[in-house]
Every structure is written in structure tokens, then in C-alpha cells.
Amino acid sequence: MNQYRKFLAFSLFAVITAGFVSCDKPGNDVPENPTGPYNLSYGDSIIYLKPVAGDYIVKPLTTRPGVYSGFPDGIEIDETTGAINVSNSETGLRYRITHISPAGDTTKTMVVLSGITFRDYFYILANGDSIANPIYNASESRVLPVSGSNFDDDNTANTGGCAVKTDNGKINLAESIRKGVFGANPRNDDQKTIEIKYRINDASGKSQNKLKVLLYWYETMADVPDYVWEILNDRTTEGVFLRGGATSTDPTFTGRLQKVAKPRPPCVVIVAH
């Protein structure tokens, strides 16, 4: 009987020990020596800012050894873990996240950091083109949920002369000129950076978000300098920031854009006629 009890005790100890050992092993989603294709994913293609204490961080569902990077400029990403600091990133844009393994294998995915932006565009007032519409979640086809949302949350933009509609986020450019956003007598190449704080009634839980918009003023299209044309052409050609943009096939040109492309602040170019 004593030998039988000892046998049962030993068997029970072996089972419990095996259970503890199995719990210490990493899960299948984070293997010690990962092999096979890497499914780089953050769980959703759209990442929303959240009302949390401190910075809001979103990690990949699975992390692998290697180097992570984001393109274009404006996203803060941990090179080792791929974690995105949404609070410190420029929202309202699409980003390409790239992972390069120690063996040189490359994996990419696209994510949108939820928010609004504006098109880099020439608005000609004489043609009645005087309203800059916000673009929601990096796609002009997505409907901005305005019910329960608030734009220019602290009234900074309107106080500075930029006529932002607080109920829908649209910028009335003609009204902005009348309000003196560039002063009483605008001159060619006058510029004004406006910060717009806003809260959208969506999955962000009305977290306060923000963006800066760069306004330019010119009397005619002939007065627009080359450097402004270059900024808009580069952004249009790269086509990463908004869904549906064209992409350059020239490796030299694309390489140059990889270094200089900065989608923020959006350039709203106001032209009198």
C-alpha cells in the first residue's frame, strides 16, 4: 500500500510539473525561432486614438526579430517591436509599415491612423473654389461622422482668422481671407500655419485629436513659386498618404521621395484668380 501511494504521489507530481513547464513555453503566435511567412498585422487596418492616461500604444499581433519602419514621415514606431505610438504620430493618414527580418525577408502592411486631413490643393477663389473639405480616415469616399463631433475644439483656429466650421470641420477660405488670416493686405507667398483641435464621434471615443494646416496666398497661379509646385507634385506622385493615389515607377524618383516626403502639414494654397 505504501508503494502504491508513493506511485500515485510521483505520478501526480509529474503531471503538475509538466503543466508548469508547458505554461512557460511561448505561444504559437510568438515562436522562439519563427519560421514561415510573417503575417504583419495590427488587428485592424484603421487604428483609432483612445482616451487613455499617457500615450496610446498599439503593438503588432505578433512580433518577430528584425527592424520595423514606417513611411511616410509622421508615424512614431519602435524599430525593435513595431509598436506604434498613436498619440505622438500624425493622424488622418495612411502609412506603410515594413518589417525586415535578420535574413533580409521583407514584409509590409498598410494602416490608417484615424483622423482628418485636407488635400494638398490649389483653391481658386474666382472660380468659386473656396471650401476646403476634411478627409476622414485617409479616404475621400469615407463619410465623416459629424453628429456629436466638434471641430476647432479650443477655438484657436477661428481666433487666428481661419474660418473652421465647428460642426463639420470645413474651412471657408474666402471667409478666412475676410477675417484677416493673412492680415489686412495679403501678399504673394504669405503663409500661416493653423492648428485645429477636434473630437470625432467614432471609435476614438471623442479623444482630442489635432492637425496643423499650412495656408498659402497668391494673387494668380503665375505667382505660385516652383517650390510649392514641387511639394504638391511629390505628394501626388507618391500616393501613400491617401487611398487611391498614384505611385511612381521610377526607382530614382521614388528613392528621393522616400527621403523627403512629409505629408504634414497639408498645403492649402489659396489663389485669388
Alpha helices for the chain (secondary structure H): 2-24, 156-159, 173-178, 226-238, 251-260
What is the per-residue pLDDT for 129?
94
Cα angle for residues 253, 259, 262 (degrees, 5° grid): 105
What is the per-residue pLDDT for 231?
86
85-94, 148-157, 233-242: segment of lowest average pLDDT: 233-242
Are 123 and 268 in contact by the 8 Å Cβ rule? The answer is yes
Give dist(CA 162, CA 181) in Å, integer. 6
Inter-CA distances, 158 with 120, 208, 258, 272, Å = 21, 17, 35, 21
Bridge partners of 77?
Answer: 84
Q: Cell triple for residue 20?
A: 508548469
Give dist(CA 217, CA 224) in Å, integer. 9
CA proximity to 151, closest of 89, 105, 209: 209
What is the per-residue pLDDT for 13?
40
What is the per-residue pLDDT for 203?
98
Q: Cell triple for residue 101?
A: 527580418
What is the per-residue pLDDT for 72?
86
State the CB neighbour count (10 A cutoff) for residue 154: 13
What is the per-residue pLDDT for 79?
98
Judged by phi (left if over 0) then psi (alpha if -120 to 50, else beta), residue 4 lies in alpha
The answer on pLDDT for 135 being more than 90 is: yes
The answer on pLDDT for 25 being more than 90 is: no
Tell me the average pLDDT of the chain: 84
- pLDDT tens track for 65-83: 999 999 888 999 999 999 9
Are 135 and 242 in contact by the 8 Å Cβ rule? The answer is yes
What is the per-residue pLDDT for 263?
77
Residue 109: which pLDDT band, with cuts at 50, 70 and 90? Answer: very high
Residue 17 one-letter amino acid: T
The answer on pLDDT for 7 being more than 50 is: no
> Any residues with CB less than 8 A from the CB of 42 and at least 6 apart, and which?
58, 59, 60, 61, 84, 97, 109, 111
What is the per-residue pLDDT for 179?
97
What is the per-residue pLDDT for 244?
56
- pLDDT tens track for 243-259: 654 443 333 333 433 33
- pLDDT tens track for 209-256: 999 999 999 999 999 999 999 888 877 665 556 665 444 333 333 343
β 135-136/116-117 pair status: antiparallel
Residue 85 one-letter amino acid: N
Put simply, whether the predicted model's pTM sits higher than 0.85 gets the answer no
